[in-house]
Chain A
């Protein structure tokens, strides 16, 4: 019969599928588990890539930081945020080349990463939101958490309008109005008022949002919650904890999975608008809006304005902070943070002190030389004002009370 034939053809089709999948861009919704360092020999080494332009934090001149390179078991395991996956892959590759420690990171989503970290099946978790009090309590049996901000990302309002002469400028009220469904035409007076000289067409606005639970949605809705009381009323029923999060009850629009799904949705409709990660928009040349921040300045989303948003006068001691609608005058207002989450006393959770040393040494490298990997991949690096507190956080890690770093 045809069974043998179908099977062979099936294999061909499957290969094609994998190929197409691989080409469909980053930010996949699936959960790849990759030993990032497997490809270390083909990539440039850390030393080669950190040139003079490297985002080496200003507070610690290159050369001042030395690395112990503890081997431990030769590998470290982490899980969580899909957003940070490309950066951690590159960091893992470079750190393996430098110190010979492999990093296995499962990008299963921040929620999954926190669960795995809580159940102590990974050495660290990575999350696009700091731990909720309930999550800290759930992990209390293993000890106190330390949350270390390692990178920053932004979410942009991307759109598809043919023949515009300049990027559209938006105020917080416009962004909220579009995603609430109260502003429905591109030539709405509110948009026209902010965009003198731009020939805005009489096109319907067609909103696309994420359908999968996502840190991108969390950053975006946290911003809307911070700037728009109407948003809190309409989406959260007046409760800001319900109007911000990885999934909210959208008043309007289509749902699409992943940054690539949202982008596809925007591109297919003249007048489409949605929100995607800055890194994704930059890599794929998607037009996005310039946003007015809290200080009243219109800010173009960029790595510089993201870094500016993260550059605060002071940070809370536990490093749980929120950059939505930042006070920073040159900061882009829809900025989010990704934290690496570890236990403070690693003696309760890790098999050996060697492994704890390997983890601490990797984190120390990640907040210093590892930051050079951020800019080329369109991630915001740690600002100088934050570095001292990040260093203190890593130095607070201990083995039954004995500090792991000198």
Chain B
């Protein structure tokens, strides 16, 4: 994430001579680049081949927009899981992005150096905790803690907005979104911190010399220069949010239908695969679950592609690539 200004004159010192070391190096990089793409394409082609019976039976639109998931009736529709994946990811991002960016600013701009180290360690530690631990903690601790808040919202705003209405059984889209947000905050915060810390000292000092406050430094230098790097961090966080499996399945309630409220139980693409694949022995059931995996792959590609486009737009605005 950090910028390294390329030392000038390196080309003057070392011109490529024929197929020397540079040529070999370039060739190696190309091979590696191709090797990275192969598994992705292979996975897509292979999963599609595995799931042909599903597409033949339901059609791609029929499967993707199907509302009913009933293995005992050989009826498979993916929409409840797509909805759950997108909704929990959205809830997670709405909570995580502001908090993570504020934590990163706090560490690089506000805290004294010694405290900085400790907070940074704490954030790194959170990023290293396996998701199953977050899931257990979410189920045992967070869900009961969230309950009164959910009931309060459902009892007030929920009376007007069906999207916030009760009942509040505990495990829900909302609970899953909160757990995932806690999982991705450290990722986004740690990467954003590196980006902010890389802000050139000269530019900071220039703002201070003009009489600017710390807030002026953050507003006019740190955030504009770091914007594209922070967006990269958000993309990584979003990727984890979309694919998160174990922690989500423990707190989302695992109901294969679209809940009207964010406090309803639901299901995500990744968690239904984890739940049902082991014992999937109904007709087309394993194939339908693999098809959900393919849908998940496509959604990840689409969402990440969109995020990369947005990031490029921002980067162009500043005229600096981080």
A interface list, Cβ under 8 A from B: 2, 5-7, 9-10, 13-14, 16-17, 20-21, 24, 29, 31, 108-112, 114-115, 204, 206, 211-214, 236-237, 242-243, 245-250, 253-257, 261, 264-265, 268-269
Contact = CB atoms under 8 A, between A and B. Distances in A.
A262 B236 CA distance: 33
Contacts of A16: 133
Contact of A247 (B129, B255, B265, B279): B279
Q: Which of A14, A109, A237, A246 has the most CB of B within 10 A?
A: A246
Q: Which of B130, B276, B278 has the most CB of A within 10 A?
A: B278
21 contacts: A2-B120, A2-B124, A7-B128, A9-B128, A13-B128, A17-B130, A17-B133, A29-B278, A212-B275, A213-B281, A249-B70, A254-B171, A254-B254, A254-B255, A255-B255, A256-B253, A257-B275, A265-B170, A268-B143, A268-B144, A268-B170
Contact of B130 (A14, A211, A250): A14
A16 B132 CA distance: 11
A296 B170 CA distance: 37
Contact of B279 (A5, A10, A213): A213
Nearest to B122: A9
A323 B139 CA distance: 35
B282 interface: yes
A235 to B, nearest CB: 8
B133 A5 contact: no
B28 interface: no
Nearest to A253: B255
Contact of B169 (A21, A24, A257, A269): A269
Interface of B: 70-73, 120-121, 124-125, 127-130, 132-133, 136, 139-140, 143-144, 167, 169-171, 190, 249-250, 253-256, 265, 267, 275-276, 278-282
B133 A20 contact: yes
A249 B69 CA distance: 8
B176 to A, nearest CB: 13
A84 B167 CA distance: 38
A256 B254 contact: yes
Contacts of B128: 6-7, 9-10, 13
A2 B187 CA distance: 13
A242 B72 CA distance: 5
A109 B279 CA distance: 6
A329 to B, nearest CB: 33
A212 B124 contact: no
Contacts of B280: 111, 213
Given A14-B130, A17-B130, A255-B255, A249 B279 contact: no
B249 A264 contact: no
Nearest to B2: A1
A32 B135 CA distance: 20
A24 B190 CA distance: 31
A111 B73 contact: no
B182 to A, nearest CB: 14
Contact of A112 (B129, B136, B276, B278): B278
A13 B129 contact: yes
A345 B167 CA distance: 58
B136 A214 contact: no
Contacts of A211: 249, 254, 275-276
Contacts of B276: 211-213, 247
Contact of A246 (B130, B190, B279): B279
Contacts of B72: 236, 242-243, 245, 247-249
A70 B139 CA distance: 48
A285 B133 CA distance: 25
B125 A254 contact: no
Nearest to B74: A242
